[in-house]
Structure 1
Amino acid sequence: MQSSCINLTQAARHVQLFRIDGHSATWVKVSAPIASCRIAVGGYDWAIDYYPNVYYCNESWIKLGFTMASDGAARGVVATFRCRLVDQSGVLKPSGEKTLSCTFSYGLTKEVHFMRRFDVNVSGYVQQDDSILLECAITVLLDAAAAAAAAAATTTSVAAPPSDLQRHFGEMLRSQKGADVTFLVSGESVAAHRCVLAARSPVFMAELFGDMEEKDSERIEIKGMEAEVFRALLHFIYTDTLPEQDEEDARTMAQHLLDAADRYGMERLKLICADKVCAGISVDTVATSLAMAEQHGCSKLKARCIEFILATPANFQAVAATEGYKFLTDVCPSVLNDLILAIFARYKPFRCS
């Protein structure tokens, strides 16, 4: 006996990215949404409202409202909404989803208490520019007429293959064809292309096409950097990705690349490296990571390090006994003031009014 699969339902799906700038400034509790958008899915209009701070279960939460905004809808429409946080730097995997399924009619609003604000603040999804990015997927179950219209629309378009720009630039770096500048790094020669470097780094732009002496040089010496780190920097410049390494080597490389990224004004690489360092924080590494965050202006990494150190008295005692803590006090003594202020902020006694 042969069996076959019959598709009894059809649906339209749309994914909407919802960027919230100034996340830290949205802590004030308000009854109205601070951001909204309206999109069309499955032949109907839908509104998404963002509430930054609502009181729910005795805590502060981020809430989303979903509304069917099509006037004159004759009957109920079945739709599903899925929401999650995504990392704009491309390092972290998306957060867990919150899902809502319901039969909607015109003007019906359903609310989703998405995530506690505290969990968002410590999740790693808040970018250095204080923004977060929500991904909202909307799936609408179609009736026969709507399904036929959607099928007709999809048959008229052909999906383009995924971009292979990174592969081509990576091959150009590997082959060194057309390379017009050579760098001397720790005694090793590394060839590259001036235009690519200048397009990706404002520092390379100034060195190679500005008024600096390197402008007319065919060989440029890079001091204070290992050849392996410089090659990893070039790999990111050409492909926008980090070299493939095991987890431990990748975290070690991230520490060196963080310094290189700051040195060459590459903010995206700096954020990616800071996130990798942040993910590897431990008693043995947190002090040096904090010094690194202070030296390179990585506010999120600095906050995460201080949070780790002050999580428990045992943590603080263990960190204070490490060689890294001694290094921190020698190199960045100003950070100790931040630690003291954080201790007072955390443990200050309540005052009676």
Structure 2
Amino acid sequence: MAPSQGPVSTTASTCTAETARGRHRFKIAGYSLHKGPAAGKFIRSATFYVGGHGWSIRFYPNGHTSKDDANKNFICVYLELMAEKNTTEVRAAYDLSLVDQLTGESKVRFNPMKPRAFTGEIPAWGARTFIRRTELEASTYLREDRVVIECNVTVIMAKLEGKAQLTTCDFQAPPSDMSVDFGKLLKTGEGADVVFKVEEETVRAHRIVLAARSPVFKAELYGPLGDKNRGIILVEDIHPDVFKALLHFIYTDSLPAMDDVDGRESKEITQHLLVAADRYGMERMKLVCASKLSKRLDADSVSATLALADRYSCSELRGACIRYIISSNTMDEVVASRGYKELKRACPAATVELWEKASKSRKILYAEQRDIFIEELD
């Protein structure tokens, strides 16, 4: 008798491992003070907790071990489970990043493809060749003798077994639209209570917003002269478009789009915005402008940009200009430019710093090439 050809009953189940995620930033101040001949010595971060377990970051400024000559020129970074020796296995995925202190952005330098098993016997996993020491010291990851390491940890809370696990639901709230709302407030001028005259244009704004964002505006609007500034306030030595862009940043925490201007004009506007940011004590805006300018350096303009950074005490941009000059193959073009002659006249201290670091960079490069040559001989 033929088997029945009736409908087939289909069922399904899902097995999901629950996880806990956390992030920790470890700031190493006084980086140069930790350098020395002793490999295998590490600095440990404060303990942070993810998935009910304590973790810390190990930072080896002089390499993991003196026995491994191949890694002696590298910084080593590990993630450590802070646990007793009899602790059972904790499975976790992780990555290790360096934070660019010019932009605040982090860049992943080490990311294992699979989760690691942390135990009391093997509590730490990481990268022995996290970054070459000379590369770190020539980058924006090291600023004012400070380095910041970021670690993302994902602890796997439940083992995957044969039966289905309870699946938890999660959702994310939409991103903040506060800057959009404040941008509309500036555009409409609704409730504005202060008027500025910039050349032939008048600009309306809100005192409390300006005072909250700028110490200079706070002193001007609410300080001893605040009562005298109840009428129209005259703003001198600044272009209306630059002043409007300054207000745009105050209200939205971002620079206005410059899609309709060419690269050279956009660069000039950004330079004027950096000056305005310095004038009104807008440090974050100043750094944002500095970051944009640091990405547009060339042999013809780098000297002028260095002079600008020196004049307005922007150490981040000054450092970026100096690194560009000494690391590029255009040193002769830079020295021959009109901007360099002006730099020597107006900013002698910056010129001295440039040549001191160029000399130091050459010595480091020579030492690296010598080490490579010796290794090849061996």
Corresponding residue for residue 45 of structure 2: 36
Corresponding residue for residue 272 of structure 1: 288
* Matching of residues 1-353 of structure 1 within 5 Å: 7-22=14-29, 24-29=31-36, 31-54=40-63, 57=70, 60-71=73-84, 75-87=88-100, 91=103, 93-100=105-112, 101-108=115-122, 109-113=124-128, 114-126=130-142, 131-143=146-158, 160-212=173-225, 215-246=228-259, 248=263, 250-311=266-327, 315-346=330-361
For 1:14 and 1:226, locate their aligned partners in 2 and report how far apart those are by CA, in whole Å. 48
On the 8 A contact 1:185/1:221 being kept in 2, the answer is yes
Q: For residues 337 and 124 of structure 1, do their structure 2 counterparts lie closer, same or farther at Cα, with a shift above 3 Å needed?
A: closer
For 2:18 and 2:218, locate their aligned partners in 1 and report how far apart those are by CA, in whole Å. 49
How many equivalent residue pairs?
A: 343
Shift of residue 6 of structure 1? 5.9
On the 8 A contact 2:19/2:154 being kept in 1, the answer is yes
Q: For residues 227 and 132 of structure 1, do their structure 2 counterparts lie closer, same or farther at Cα, with a shift above 3 Å needed?
A: farther
For 1:88 and 1:41, locate their aligned partners in 2 and report how far apart those are by CA, in whole Å. 26
Shift of residue 330 of structure 1? 3.5
CA RMSD of aligned residues (A): 3.5
For 2:345 and 2:10, locate their aligned partners in 1 and report how far apart those are by CA, in whole Å. 74
On the 8 A contact 1:18/1:135 being kept in 2, the answer is yes
On the 8 A contact 2:15/2:160 being kept in 1, the answer is no
Q: Which moved more, 1:71-80 or 1:45-54?
A: 71-80
Letter aligned with residue 351 of structure 2: L
Corresponding residue for residue 371 of structure 2: none
Letter aligned with residue 336 of structure 2: A
For 1:344 and 1:72, locate their aligned partners in 2 and report how far apart those are by CA, in whole Å. 50
Shift of residue 145 of structure 1? 9.4
For 2:85 and 2:325, locate their aligned partners in 1 and report how far apart those are by CA, in whole Å. 58
Which stretches in structure 1 are left out of the alignment for 5+ residues?
A: none
For 1:15 and 1:334, locate their aligned partners in 2 and report how far apart those are by CA, in whole Å. 44
- Percent same amino acid among aligned pairs? 34
Q: Which moved more, 1:2-11 or 1:205-214?
A: 2-11
Q: Secondary structure at the match of 2:111?
A: strand
Structure number, greater radius of gyration: 2
For 2:243 and 2:59, locate their aligned partners in 1 and report how far apart those are by CA, in whole Å. 43
For 1:171 and 1:142, locate their aligned partners in 2 and report how far apart those are by CA, in whole Å. 45
Q: For residues 131 and 182 of structure 1, do their structure 2 counterparts lie closer, same or farther at Cα, with a shift above 3 Å needed?
A: farther
Q: Which moved more, 1:24-33 or 1:276-285?
A: 24-33
Q: For residues 5 and 225 of structure 1, do their structure 2 counterparts lie closer, same or farther at Cα, with a shift above 3 Å needed?
A: farther
Q: Which moved more, 1:221-230 or 1:328-337?
A: 328-337
Shift of residue 182 of structure 1? 1.4
Q: Which moved more, 1:12-21 or 1:232-241?
A: 12-21
Q: For residues 21 and 266 of structure 1, do their structure 2 counterparts lie closer, same or farther at Cα, with a shift above 3 Å needed?
A: farther
Shift of residue 318 of structure 1? 0.4
Per-residue Cα deviation, 1:195-234 (whole angstroms, up to 9, x for no partner): 1111111111111111237843421122221111111111
Q: Which moved more, 1:58-67 or 1:174-183?
A: 58-67
Q: For residues 82 and 169 of structure 1, do their structure 2 counterparts lie closer, same or farther at Cα, with a shift above 3 Å needed?
A: same
Q: Secondary structure at the match of 1:203?
A: helix
Q: For residues 254 and 24 of structure 1, do their structure 2 counterparts lie closer, same or farther at Cα, with a shift above 3 Å needed?
A: farther
For 2:326 and 2:54, locate their aligned partners in 1 and report how far apart those are by CA, in whole Å. 48
Q: Which moved more, 1:218-227 or 1:60-69?
A: 60-69
For 1:307 and 1:74, locate their aligned partners in 2 and report how far apart those are by CA, in whole Å. 48
Q: For residues 84 and 293 of structure 1, do their structure 2 counterparts lie closer, same or farther at Cα, with a shift above 3 Å needed?
A: same
For 1:242 and 1:54, locate their aligned partners in 2 and report how far apart those are by CA, in whole Å. 42
Q: Secondary structure at the match of 1:67?
A: strand
Shift of residue 333 of structure 1? 3.4
On the 8 A contact 2:186/2:205 being kept in 1, the answer is yes
Q: Secondary structure at the match of 1:341?
A: helix
Shift of residue 9 of structure 1? 4.2
Shift of residue 21 of structure 1? 4.5
Q: For residues 151 and 183 of structure 1, do their structure 2 counterparts lie closer, same or farther at Cα, with a shift above 3 Å needed?
A: farther
For 1:197 and 1:79, locate their aligned partners in 2 and report how far apart those are by CA, in whole Å. 46
* TM-score of the two chains, using structure 1 as the length reference: 0.82
On the 8 A contact 1:79/1:104 being kept in 2, the answer is yes
